[in-house]
Structure 1
Amino acid sequence: MPFRSKTTLEAWVEEFALLGYPQASQVRVIVQDAGDGDTGLVAVTLTDATTVTYIQPIVVGSPRWVVTFEAREEQLELAAADVARLSADLAVVSALCAFFQAKSASFVATQAATAGDS
């Protein structure tokens, strides 16, 4: 899927950054080994939580994306200000996930229209 290539996703991350969302969290596109090529995995480092968090397509071939929070072995306690920062991070992660989904859906629709014109 070309819309899941590392190059495309890095361009989308840069495009998203230009939209003016606060960049409290770090975002990076991960190279993932898979038999079907690029699978689209984007890691997010949250400011006030060490929870492993990533954004990925829900299934191969689908333009739908999801945010995954891996299980934690220990509890997380945060002061009110830390929770506010985490909340802001999660709002950006949500917007980024929606952005990837919109870009993927647009790509799929364009490909379908092009195939229909052939």
Structure 2
Amino acid sequence: MPFRTTATLQTWIDDFRALGYDDAGILRVIPQDSEDDSDTGLIAARLRSVSTTFYVAPDTEPGSTGWAVTFEPRETAAPLGSARVLALSGELAMLSALCMFLQARAQAFLDGRS
């Protein structure tokens, strides 16, 4: 899928950051391991409010334009006070907006409007 190249994803992340989301600075594009050596990427970051790593990747269904956030497993519990929960809610809101943004960009690409 050409809309998953690392260069395309980097452009989309740059465009998303330009929208002004406070937490978008934590996002980075990383190469995705693939069996066919294609230039696909993922979006990864480490949350600031809790030490959890996540990545954002497209759905695996053929023709799907949806994107999902996968949180890496934690080895220990992460108790959070109210201020950190509030900060986490902002980061999660940004991730939700990012997935919607990426879905719209992927659909535009498939529709020939990219």
TM band (smaller chain) = 0.7 to 0.9
Preserved contact between residue 17 and residue 25 of structure 2 (Cα < 8 Å) = no
Note if 1:55 corresponds to 2:52. Answer: no
How many pairs align? 111
Between the aligned residues of both structures, percent identity stands at: 45
Alpha-carbon deviation of 1:25?
A: 5.4
Q: Determine which of 70, 82, 85 is the counterpart of 1:83.
A: 85
TM-score, normalised with respect to structure 1: 0.85
Mind listing any 5+ residue stretches in structure 1 that lack a counterpart? 112-118
Q: Which letter maps to 2:17?
A: A
Separation in structure 1 between the aligned mates of residue 28 and residue 82 of structure 2, nearest angstrom: 28
Separation in structure 2 between the aligned mates of residue 46 and residue 52 of structure 1, nearest angstrom: 6
Preserved contact between residue 30 and residue 42 of structure 2 (Cα < 8 Å) = yes
Question: 4+ residue runs of structure 1 moved beyond 4 angstroms?
Answer: none
Q: Determine which of 95, 98, 104 is the counterpart of 1:93.
A: 95
CA RMSD of aligned residues (A): 1.7
Mind listing any 5+ residue stretches in structure 2 that lack a counterpart? none
Q: Residues 53 and 43 (structure 1 numbering): CA distance in 2 closer, same or farther, change over 3 Å? A: same
Separation in structure 2 between the aligned mates of residue 21 and residue 82 of structure 1, nearest angstrom: 18
Alpha-carbon deviation of 1:72?
A: 1.3
Match of 1:116 in 2: none
Match of 2:28 in 1: 28
Match of 1:71 in 2: 73
Secondary structure of the structure 1 residue equivalent to 2:112: helix
Separation in structure 2 between the aligned mates of residue 81 and residue 50 of structure 1, nearest angstrom: 15
Match of 2:18 in 1: 18
Q: Residues 24 and 107 (structure 1 numbering): CA distance in 2 closer, same or farther, change over 3 Å? A: closer
Match of 2:8 in 1: 8
